[in-house]
Amino acid sequence: MHTNTPELRDKNIWGMVAEFERPRDLVEAGRRVHHEHGYKKLDALSPFPIHGIDAAIGVPRSMLGYVVFAMGILGCAGAALMIWFMNGADYPLVIGGKPLFAFEPSIPVMFEVTVLFAALTAFAGMFALNGLPRLYHPAFNYSRFGAATDDRYLLVVEAADPKFDIDETRRLLESLGARHVEVIEG
Amino acid sequence: MVKQLRQESIAELWKIDGELWTRGRNAIAFVALISWVAALTGWVLDPQRFLQSYLVGFLVALAVPLGALFFLMVGFLTGSAWSVPMRRVAENILYTIPAGALLFLPIALGVHELYEWSHAEALANDLLLRGKSGYLNPQWFVIRAAIYFAVWSLWANRLYTASTRQDRTGSLEQMHQASRWSAPGLPLTFVTVSLASFDWIMSLDPHWYSTIFGLYFFSGAALTFIAVWTLACLWLRDHGVLREAITVEHYHDFGKWMFALTVFWAYLGFSQYMLIWYGNLPEETTWFHQRLEGSWKWWSALLLVGHFIVPFLVLISRPAKRKLRLLRTMALWFVAMEFVDIYWLVMPGFQKQGVALHWLDAAAVLACGSALALVFWARMKRHPLIPIGDPRLEQGLEFHNI
């Protein structure tokens, strides 16, 4: 069991975990810690997604949507260009008396390539932006980490946060109704 | 007994204020009065043009409750919780379907003015029309319309009754009842709406046919319904009604539905166009030729840009769907685009020289729309504005987008 003693301050402290019993306690604690006390480097761990937790602990909107949109546009334009180049410019071939290049028959392909590019970008981008795959995380060092996959809701405050202070932060988290607060080494 | 009392006291909280209701009714009645006087004058002055404009107005107005029928049945079948706080408003829209049967009367009377296949001399000179006359004849046309309205009204009534009864009972039974009616109702609605759009719109050009036409019409109808539903909820919000119940999270979902349906509409419209373009058969391409000639070319461009490209780009981002002012603009825009779409489907055959808008177009849309709106508005006072007995209501009120 960790205790908050002066000698621990010299150790490699990564952060602090507070354990809550109900999802709404976690959201409320996260909201107070972030919005009222100005902590920024926060994380929440729970067995299932909790509505409103992102806004509560100040997780910014992901930029993934914009990347996906850009790649979708690229796929769309790329497909049109490909068809135009192959059938209309590089090796002109009349098929069924149709124009060498026309948008009408190209749109299904443009649509499909848009979806392909967008979907692959969303898939790979989600992993990349989340830093996945990742086999280790300091929060695993929490003595009862397994509870976060079952019936406990964890609020993580990283030591890198400018407002982090072992005593202050612990007092704050305990005052917000944390059942258990623990310092985590990295 | 205690439960009943509790339900009644909750019901009181979800009522529209009497004075506000009267103001709303007066506004709708005023529009109805002016537009009906104008429309009926037009019927006397220029019956031909009146019926053409009226067909457009009738279809735009009827699209809204038909969209509601589709949407509510999907909601009941999927156990949707997010839509429960707004469901009563949609049900009140649904309730207007039987009134649509009355609005159909001028068209039943004007079959001869509107539809070429009803002319004996056209039949005599046209083998194809003679072949189709077993289906396309005035008697069977009116009987079919009666069947459509009977089916839609029955289903509308069953769903409405189940939901409003649940206000008092708070029981699961009505929920199951609504789902049981929705399961056969959904395919039946698709078939009847498809056939109705074949009868009322596609048969204006009796040589032309497209099997996807019904879905094309229905997708536009569903979109128009979502737009009108959004506008009704926003109007209530502006007047301080249901402000806490219908939050930005719900409007976000309205935005998603509008986005999804405008894409779906474009998908169907393009599928129809591309197959005909590729097949390149004269009896199929004439319909599009007509719509790409003269000023109709610009009307078609307006439809493509206004009904799909612009809304697609505007509504694709999340912040846009959460800005109520923008959402209201888009909802109004979609209603206008439904008019453009129906006009594009109906009018080119009558206006071979190019687009020729007429004051009767506006009068007819407003007349049909305000007639249904009066029925809708009468319902808004009858029952609580929220399905207070639905077990999913709390979940719906707490709903959040991830």
Tell me what ipTM this predicted complex has: 0.77
At a CB cut-off of 8 Å and minimum separation 6, what does B136 contact?
B115, B117, B118, B129, B203, B206
Nearest CA in chain A to B272: A104
Q: Is the peptide bond before A105 cis (omega within 30 degrees of 0)?
A: no
Q: Is A105 on the interface with B (CB under 8 A)?
A: yes
Instruction: Judge if A110 and A74 occupy the same domain.
Output: yes
The pLDDT of residue A1 is 39
The CATH number covering residue A51 comes to 3.30.70
Tokens of B354: 């190019």
Nearest by Cα to A170 from A52, A38, A159, A162: A159
Mean pLDDT over the full length of chain A: 87
B54: Cα within 13 Å, side-chain hemisphere? 28
H or E element, residue B150: helix B138-169
Selected for mutation to probe chain B from A54, A67, A104, A111 (highest B CB count within 10 Å) is: A104
Q: Which of B274, B284, B316 to mutate to test the interface with A (most CBs of A within 10 A)?
A: B274
- A57 and A143 part of one domain: yes
pLDDT in the model for residue B1: 43
Q: Is residue A169 part of a domain?
A: yes
What single-letter DSSP state applies at residue A6? G
What is the domain range of residue B369?
2-397
Alpha-carbon span B113 to A84, nearest angstrom: 48
> Is A69's Cβ below 8 Å from some Cβ in B?
yes
Pairs of residues, one from chain A and one from chain B, whose beta carbons lie less than 8 Å apart: 22
Measure CB to CB from residue A49 to each of B316, B317, B402 and give the nearest one.
Answer: B402
Query: Within this chain, do residues A43 and A56 fall inside the same structural domain, yes or no?
Result: yes
What's the rounded mean pLDDT across residues A65-87? Answer: 95
Distance from CA of B322 to the nearest CA of A (A): 14
Structural domain tally of chain B?
A: 1
Q: Which of B278, B316, B402 sits opposite A104 (nearest CB)?
A: B278
- In a domain, residue B29? The reply is yes
Domains identified in chain A, total number: 2
Query: Is A134 a member of any domain?
Result: no
| Domain assignment of residue A97, given as a range | 64-129
Token pair recorded at residue B161: 């009754």
Query: Could you tell me if residue A71 is inside a domain?
Result: yes
Quote the CA–CA distance of A29 and A23 in Å, as a whole number: 10
**Is the residue at A146 inside a domain?**
yes
- Sort out which chain A residues have CB atoms less than 8 A from B400's CB and list them: 51-52
pLDDT number for residue B3:
53
Distance from CA of A50 to the nearest CA of B (A): 8
Q: Are A15 and A51 within one domain? A: yes
Q: Is residue B90 part of a domain?
A: yes
Q: Is residue A72 in a domain?
A: yes
pLDDT for A137 beyond 60? yes
Instruction: Tell me B293's DSSP state.
Output: S
pLDDT tens, residue by residue, A118-132 = 999 999 999 999 888
Task: For residue A12, tell me if it sits in a domain.
Answer: yes
Asked if residue B402 belongs to a domain, the reply is no
Fill in the amino acid letter for A131. Answer: G
Q: B285 to chain A: which residues are within 8 Å by CB?
A: none
- The DSSP symbol for B348 reads G
| Average pLDDT of adjacent 10-residue blocks, chain B of 402 residues | 53 78 94 96 94 96 97 94 92 96 95 92 89 92 96 96 90 91 96 96 93 95 97 92 87 95 96 93 92 94 96 93 95 97 95 92 96 95 88 82 65
**Contact call for B274 and A105, based on CB within 8 A:** yes
B262: left (phi over 0), alpha (psi -120 to 50) or beta: alpha
- Look-up of token digits 């769309």: A76
Across A10-19, A98-107, A176-185, B325-334, which has the greatest mean pLDDT?
B325-334
Co-location of A31 and A85 in the same domain: no
Q: Is B120 on the interface with A (CB under 8 A)?
A: no
Lowest mean pLDDT among A7-21, A65-79, A140-154, B335-349: A7-21
Specify the pLDDT at position B69.
Answer: 96
DSSP of B70-85, one letter per residue? HHHHHHHHHT-STTHH
Query: Is the per-residue pLDDT at A183 higher than 60?
Result: yes
Region A140-148: what's the mean pLDDT?
86
> CB of B401 within 8 A of CB of B247?
no
Question: What's the token pair of residue B137?
Answer: 């004849």
Asked if residue A122 and residue A34 are part of one domain, the reply reads: no
Residue A1 lies in a domain: no
Q: Do A104 and B398 touch (CB under 8 A)?
A: no
Q: What percent of chain A has pLDDT over 90?
A: 33
Q: Which residue, A86, A103, A129, sits at the end of a domain? A: A129
Q: Which candidate from B274, B317, B318 shows the least CB-CB separation from A107?
A: B274
**Alpha-carbon distance B306 to nearest alpha carbon in chain A (angstroms):** 19
Alpha-carbon distance A104 to nearest alpha carbon in chain B (angstroms): 6
Bridge partners, A157 (sequence order): A16, A42
Contact state of B398 with A51 under an 8 Å Cβ cutoff:
yes
Distance CA A50, CA A52 (A): 6
Residues A145, A98 share a domain: no
Question: What pLDDT is attached to residue A3?
Answer: 45
Nearest to B270 among A51, A65, A107 (CB): A107
pLDDT higher than threshold 60 for residue A2:
no
Residue A146: predicted pLDDT: 85
Indicate the burial class of B259 (C-beta count within 10 angstroms; 0-12, 13-18, 19 or more): buried
